[in-house]
């Protein structure tokens, strides 16, 4: 087991810098997930940790040991990829034992480790089969088993579940969580799927364009995204963004004019530096919007409601995501809100939504989040 730290790590391919100034600390025994859009550098960062690529600058430590110049075989990592690359002519047992045989491990130890790994992965009954007689999920388990038998200090997974169907992916996710609990080994898992990241990670590292945008627990990222990129990336369906400008601020609340009815109050954490007229982006998640009646408001303040008409509905069964064209001065993207799946929606139907001050997010001109009130 090992803690991993990286200082100002950069990677260039020719003139293209694909990893920029990454400083990162992963705790011993942690399940860390690297997430980000395609091409943002997730695999490259993982390969730098594995030693499959050399850094162009910076250093990498496992515990207190500098491993920057070490070969992959000297780092004690095991990597599992999307493609399983099992040897087709060997049995499951031999596939799992292969790496240990190469290292001249004695046969009793090999047998013990393969049996133990097969037990953990629940593939003991498959040990004599050839890979072609296995399902995709079973093959992926063998690939993971091949990694476990080596007792690595760190497991590195690069999109290992991408080839599996949706149901099997969910099952394998739970199994990976169980595996992590049972082994307690540091794991780093790469995915572009934010749902996978949210459900697996102790902490998520959000990457974008070779840079770390934010590191935090799934709920920290959900409640307190550092910027527009993280806010838009974490959460499904994604957060709604509406451009607006500040019309008033009293330290606890900022009133934002979004060009659609009354200004929207947003609760903020600290006396905001945003003066009147400051351009901002208001964010609100589909699950935080609720339908209301136009005049429904207990006090005498103008209601922070937005009005619009239904343009599209995505039915998921238990819930539906309704797209609303807002009544605005300037055209904006449809606002998406979550509704009960039993309700019938007609295209063109008018809807009023309530915007709750403590459920809204605010971002300044540069895209940085304004601290939230809670
Ligand atoms: N050997 C290489 N030579 C040149 N450019 C490379 C090389 N490997 C990767 N890149 C580039 O580096 C960037 C990051 O690639 P990387 O494979 O790390 O992305 P990723 O986040 O894993 O993407 P995906 O989700 O599609 O797997 C990409 O723009 C890619 O084209
Ligand atoms: Mg990749």
Closest protein CA for atom 7 of ligand 1: 13
CATH topology of domain 240-363: OB fold (Dihydrolipoamide Acetyltransferase, E2P) (2.40.50)
Give whole-number Cα distances, 110 to 101, 107, 117, 127, in Å: 8, 5, 11, 13
Q: Which is the closest atom of ligand 1 to the Cα of 42?
A: 21
pLDDT of residue 175: 86
Q: Structure pTM? A: 0.92
Query: Residues with Cβ < 8 Å from 317, sequence gap 6 or more?
Result: 341
**Ligand 1 atom with minimal separation from the 46 CA:** 18
- Cβ of 40 less than 6 Å from ligand 1: yes
CA distance 107 to 81: 27
Q: Ligand 1, from 15, 18, 20, 205: best to mutate by most atoms within 8 Å of Cβ?
A: 18
pLDDT of residue 299: 56
What pLDDT, on a 0 to 100 scale, did the predictor assign at position 296? 47
Ligand that comes closest to the CA of residue 48: 1
> Which atom of ligand 1 is closest in space to residue 159's alpha carbon?
27
Q: Say if ligand 1 is within 6 A of residue 192 CB.
A: yes
Q: Does domain 4-233 have CATH number 3.30.70.100?
A: no
Number of Cβ within 10 Å of residue 102's Cβ equals 8
Q: Is 160 in the pocket of ligand 1 (CB under 6 A)?
A: no
Work out the burial of residue 202: count CB atoms within 10 Å of its CB; fewer than 13 is exposed, 13-18 middle, 19 or more buried. Answer: middle
Give strand ranges (E) for 285-333: 290-291, 305-315, 319-326
Substitution site in 16, 39, 82 for ligand 1 pocket (most atoms within 8 Å of beta carbon)? 39
Domain boundaries, the chain: 4-233, 240-363
Indicate the top mutation candidate among 15, 44, 46, 190 to test ligand 1's pocket, ranked by most ligand atoms within 8 A of CB: 44
Q: Which atom of ligand 1 is nearest to the CA of 210?
A: 14
- Ligand 1 mutation pick, 10, 36, 42, max ligand atoms within 8 A of CB: 42
Identify the residue whose C-alpha is closest to ligand 1 atom 24.
38
Closest residue to atom 28 of ligand 1, CA basis: 39
pLDDT-flagged residues of the chain (< 70): 271-272, 294-303
**CB-ligand 1 contact for 206 (6 Å cutoff):** no
Distance 48 CA to ligand 2 centre (A): 13
Cβ(87)–Cβ(134) below 8 Å? no
Q: Which ligand is nearest to the CA of 13?
A: 1
Alpha-carbon distance values, 113 to 96, 107, 186, 370 (Å): 9, 10, 19, 52
Q: Please identify, by atom number, the ligand 1 atom nearest to the C-alpha of residue 44.
A: 18
Q: Is the CB of 13 under 6 A from ligand 1?
A: yes
């Amino acid at each position: 087991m090992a803690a991993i730290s990286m200082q100002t790590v950069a990677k260039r391919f020719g003139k293209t810098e694909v990893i920029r100034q990454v400083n990162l600390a992963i705790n011993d025994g942690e399940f860390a997930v690297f997430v980000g859009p395609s091409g943002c550098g997730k695999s490259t960062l993982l390969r730098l940790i594995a030693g499959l690529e050399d850094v162009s600058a910076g250093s990498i430590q496992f515990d207190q040991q500098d491993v920057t110049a070490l070969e992959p075989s000297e780092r004690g990592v095991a990597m599992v990829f999307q493609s399983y690359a099992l040897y087709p002519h060997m049995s499951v047992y031999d596939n799992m034992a292969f790496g240990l045989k190469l290292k001249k491990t004695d046969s009793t130890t090999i047998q013990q480790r393969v049996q133990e790994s097969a037990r953990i992965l629940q593939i003991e009954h498959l040990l004599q089969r050839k890979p072609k007689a296995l399902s995709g999920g079973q093959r992926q388990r063998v690939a993971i088993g091949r990694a476990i038998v080596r007792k690595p200090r760190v497991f590195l997974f690069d999109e290992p579940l991408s080839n599996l169907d949706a149901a099997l992916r969910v099952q394998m996710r739970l199994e990976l969580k169980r595996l992590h609990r049972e082994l307690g080994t540091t794991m780093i898992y790469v995915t572009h799927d934010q749902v996978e990241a949210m459900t697996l990670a102790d902490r998520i590292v959000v990457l974008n364009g070779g840079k770390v945008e934010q590191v935090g627990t799934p709920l920290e990222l959900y409640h307190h995204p550092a910027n527009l990129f993280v806010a838009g990336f974490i959460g499904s369906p994604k957060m709604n963004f509406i451009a607006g400008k500040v019309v008033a601020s009293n330290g606890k609340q900022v009133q934002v004019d979004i060009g659609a009815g009354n200004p929207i109050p947003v609760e903020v954490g600290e006396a905001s530096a945003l003066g009147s007229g400051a351009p901002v982006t208001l964010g609100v998640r589909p699950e935080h919007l609720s339908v209301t009646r136009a005049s429904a408001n207990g006090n005498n303040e103008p209601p922070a409601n937005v009005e619009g008409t239904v343009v599209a509905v995505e039915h998921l069964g238990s819930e539906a995501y309704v797209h609303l064209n807002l009544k605005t001065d300037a055209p904006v993207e449809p606002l998406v809100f979550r509704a009960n799946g039993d309700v019938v929606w007609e295209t063109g139907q008018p809807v009023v939504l309530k915007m709750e001050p403590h459920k809204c997010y605010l971002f300044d001109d540069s895209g940085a989040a304004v601290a939230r009130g809670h």
